[in-house]
Chains A and B, each alone.
Chain A
Amino acid sequence: KNQVEQSPQSLIILEGKNCTLQCNYTVSPFSNLRWYKQDTGRGPVSLTIMTFSENTKSNGRYTATLDADTKQSSLHITASQLSDSASYICVVSAGGGSYIPTFGRGTSLIVHP
């Protein structure tokens, strides 16, 4: 069964600090992995997408890494800002004709001043 596990479930950090969110998956065959940011009361917004051959992808202060061998991904946020407070969702899509992605439960990040 395809699964995506995210950790931690929630995280509180001070403004200006860095943090790393984790995503482990068992989706097979692997096609791509996305990280989304979802602000409270809003829909998810895509941050990064990585395919099998990509190890890292950056989007401003967000850097995602992918290890396809260990089936792990991380999202690193540098110099956090109050606006980074949101839920971060890892989504893995399978290949082989399937188009139904597998979503993680998300990590809730709170950035305090």
Chain B
Amino acid sequence: ETGVTQTPRHLVMGMTNKKSLKCEQHLGHNAMYWYKQSAKKPLELMFVYSLEERVENNSVPSRFSPECPNSSHLFLHLHTLQPEDSALYLCASSQQIPTGASTDTQYFGPGTRLTVL
């Protein structure tokens, strides 16, 4: 176990549904991340939070809405998704946002496998 948990592990939803993904880290880290992993494609960084403030929104459609109520929890709210949004959604955390020469390691959760019908 990496100290980062995600629920649910699997989710199937229709295009008109509203659902939320949850991530919790037990490592005392200050930075949290959402990634999207599609088949045969590199991981795509979606959002970055540092001390509960969003510091990066990597051109993500508004149908994805993140929320970070505290430094241990991160949510991804989903609404009116498209079939191409089906992917593995990974949450990660690190001690701080790695800038410059920082070698801070990101610890990933197991991911939520999302299928949009």
Query: Could you tell me which A residues sit within 8 Å of B by CB distance?
Result: 4, 31-32, 34, 41-46, 49, 51, 89, 93, 95-106
User: A100 with B56: in contact, given A45-B2, A89-B43, A105-B41 (CB under 8 Å)?
Assistant: yes
Number of interface residues of B (CB under 8 A): 28
Residue of B nearest to A106 (CB): B42
Partner of A43, one of B4, B45, B100, B102: B4
For B106, the chain A residues whose CB sits under 8 A away are 46
Chain B residues with CB under 8 Å of A45's CB are 2, 108
Residues of A within 8 A of B42 (CB): 4, 89, 102-106
14 A-B pairs (CB sep. < 8 Å): A31-B98, A31-B101, A41-B111, A43-B92, A43-B108, A43-B111, A49-B105, A97-B100, A98-B99, A99-B56, A99-B98, A100-B56, A105-B41, A105-B42
Indicate if the CB atoms of B45 and A100 lie closer than 8 Å: yes
A4, A99, A105, A106: most-surrounded residue (chain B CB, <10 A): A99
Return chain B residues, CB-CB under 8 Å to A34. 105
Would you call A105 and B101 a contact (CB within 8 A)? no
Q: List B residues at the A interface (Cβ < 8 Å).
A: 2, 4, 40-45, 48, 56, 58, 90, 92, 97-103, 105-111, 113
User: CA of A98 to CA of B43 in the docked complex: distance in angstroms?
Assistant: 17
**In whole angstroms, how far apart are the Cα atoms of A106 and B39 in the complex?**
11
Q: Is the CB of B40 within 8 A of A95?
A: no
Shortest CB-to-CB span from B86 to chain A, Å, is 15
A44 and B108 in contact, given A99-B48, A100-B45, A100-B58 (Cβ under 8 angstroms): yes
**Minimal beta-carbon separation of A1 from chain B (angstroms):** 13
Does the CB pair A42–B56 fall under 8 Å? Answer: no
The minimal Cβ–Cβ distance linking A3 to chain B, given in whole angstroms, is: 10
B2 & A43 in contact (Cβ 8 Å cutoff): yes
